Amino acid sequence: MKTLRTQVLIVGGGPSGLLLGQLLHRAGVETLILERQTADYVLGRIRAGVLEQTTADLLDQAGVGARMHAEGLVHDGFELLVDGQRHHVNLRELTGGKTVVVYGQTEVTRDLMAARTAAGLPTLYSASEVSLHGFDTDHPSARCVVDGEAIEVHCDYIAGCDGYHGVSRASVPQGAIRSYEKVYPFGWLGLLSDTPPVGHELIYGRHERGFSLCSMRSNTRSRYYLQVPLTEQVGDWSDDRFWDELRRRLDPAAAGALVTGPSLEKSVAPLRSFVAEPMRFGRLFLAGDAAHIVPPTGAKGLNLAASDVHYLSQALIEHYRERSQAGIEHYSARCLSRIWKAERFSWWFTSLMHNFPDEADIDAKLRRAELEYLVGSEAALRVMAENYVGLPW
């Protein structure tokens, strides 16, 4: 068995693990990443693409913000389309100058991978059979198999950045962790195409046929979503069927402006709200999707991962520089306070904009009243905007 040693072992090389690795590297802390998949596989996953200002700032702090500034699109607002009527939500005005940056998570991941490679930092890809040991002692370790070779890694801390299906959360004894979960009775069918976006801003649409979202990755690449029943198979959705259904859910101006083309990717994603508490178990920390999932309405997933990584990198840097335990002790509570607020917002926005099968008539009426109130009240829009641009750390 080969034996390796590092200060912080990071399990998972998605955006959370890579960003943590980069922030720690810049502070002189050693990391090793174990990633189950190949780099190409990680880059092939299509995820959301709206960055809060604080996330963009953290990417700058990690030294990987250059391409985001050059190619990302700064958005001052978005549109709500409610039963054929569009309402502009002016984020900049409602929040005293805050905006968001539209830049795909795939691109963030690519920039982080390039920085890690340029710095010569170690990542073991295709690491199978990862298991974690001794994180309730002062000598945690992990074992895995890479290219048929068994490897043991000794470390000071383990950062579980391995997503919802990872090994980190699953390694915690059942009695030490509690999870909260809600699964929504519909999914999102997403389509990516090399076509110009329908407008300059995102359009979140509510319609009697279901929710729709017009988003983008650039001025030449669009991302669209449709609410579909969970039973729906991607194979049943030809590109033409997708475009026809989207047009039906848009207002005439947007439907007329829609440029269609062949899909580059199409997939159905379930919607879930999930939080595991706490987020630290001795020398094991959970961060990002390993600890929480939000439904995608509002694009909080990557931004929450970034705030966890911010708190975790600070805690570890403080520990190595000053031998302080304070950040480590407070990590879980700090993260969870922000996470629950973003969970609330994502649940609220999802509940407001989707059709719920078998819903009682009164619930439908109450939601309609809330929507009418929202688009007619500057105070209500301000609350929405404040959450959309991201709550402060």
Q: Active-site positions? A: 75, 204, 296, 300, 388
Work out which of 79, 111, 156, 162 binds ligand APR, going by CB under 6 A: 162
Q: Does 127 bind ligand APR (CB under 6 A)?
A: yes
Q: Tell me which stretch binds ligand APR (CB under 6 A): 12-20, 146-154, 176-184, 189-197.
A: 12-20
**Contact at 8 Å (CB) between 269 and 187?**
yes
Does residue 339 belong to the site contacting ligand APR (CB under 6 A)? no
Taking the complex as a whole, the smallest distance from the CB of residue 108 to ligand APR amounts, in Å, to 9
What DSSP line would sit under 187-219, residue for residue?
A: EEEEEEESS--SSSS-EEEE-TT--EEEEESSS
Binding partner of residue 161 among ligand APR, ligand PHB, none, CB cut-off 5 to 8 Å per kind: ligand APR
How far apart are alpha carbons 72 and 224 in whole angstroms? 18
Contact partner at residue 42 from ligand PHB, ligand APR, none, CB < 5 to 8 Å by partner kind: ligand APR
Instruction: Give burial (CB, 10 Å; 0-12/13-18/19+) of 146.
Output: middle
Taking CB atoms within 8 Å and a gap of at least 24, the contacts of 328-331 are 328/280, 331/279, 331/280, 331/285
Binding string to ligand PHB for residues 100 to 119, with x set by CB under 6 A, is what?
A: --------------------
Nearer to ligand PHB, 50 or 101 (CB): 50
Instruction: Provide the sign of the torsion angle of the four alpha carbons 153, 158, 159, 165, taken in this order.
Output: positive
Tell me how far the alpha carbon of residue 107 is from its chain's centroid.
Answer: 13
Give CA–CA dist 162/164, Å, rounded: 7
> Alpha-carbon distance 276 to 39, whole Å?
27
Among 9, 11, 158, 254, binds ligand APR (CB under 6 A): 11
Q: Would you give the DSSP letter of residue 278?
A: -
**Interacting residue with ligand APR among 8, 29, 34, 250 (CB under 6 A):** 34
> Token pair 């990302």 is at which residue?
72
Strand pairing report for 2-5 and 149-154? parallel
297 contact, one of ligand APR, ligand PHB, none, CB 5-8 Å limit per kind: ligand PHB
385 near ligand APR (CB under 6 A)? no
223 binds, among ligand APR, ligand PHB, none (CB under 5 to 8 A by kind): ligand PHB
CB 283 within 8 A of CB 7: no
**CB under 5 to 8 A by kind: which of ligand APR, ligand PHB, none does 288 bind?**
ligand APR
Stretch that binds ligand PHB, among 233-241, 280-288, 292-300, 332-340 (CB under 6 A): 292-300
Q: Which long-range contacts (CB under 8 A, 24 or more apart) does 67-70 make?
A: 67/107, 67/111, 68/101, 68/103, 68/107, 68/108, 68/111
Closest distance to ligand PHB from the beta carbon of 279 (Å): 24
Give the H/E segment covering residue 131: strand 128-133
C-beta closer to ligand APR: residue 73 or 145: 145
Which residue is listed with tokens 């404040």? 386
Tokens representing 305? 């991962």
11 binds, among ligand APR, ligand PHB, none (CB under 5 to 8 A by kind): ligand APR
Bridge partners for 365 per DSSP: none
- Is 112 a binder of ligand APR (CB under 6 A)? no
Determine, following the binding rule CB under 6 A, whether residue 48 of this chain makes contact with ligand PHB: yes
Choosing from 91, 299, 336, 385, the residue that interacts with ligand PHB (CB under 6 A) is 299
Query: Taking a C-beta distance cutoff of 8 angstroms, is the pair 185, 227 a contact?
Result: no
Nearer to ligand APR, 12 or 210 (CB): 12
Residue 296 has what DSSP assignment? S
Q: Which residue is nearest to ligand PHB (CB)?
A: 215
Cα-atom radius of gyration of the chain, to the nearest Å? Answer: 21
**Residue 42 binds ligand APR, judged by CB under 6 A:** yes
> Which of residues 8, 153, 161, 279 is near ligand APR by CB under 6 A?
161
Binding residues for ligand APR, rule: CB under 6 A, are 11-17, 34-37, 42, 47-48, 105, 127, 130, 161-163, 165-167, 288-289, 301-302, 305
Binding residues for ligand PHB, rule: CB under 6 A, are 48-50, 202, 213, 215, 223, 296-299
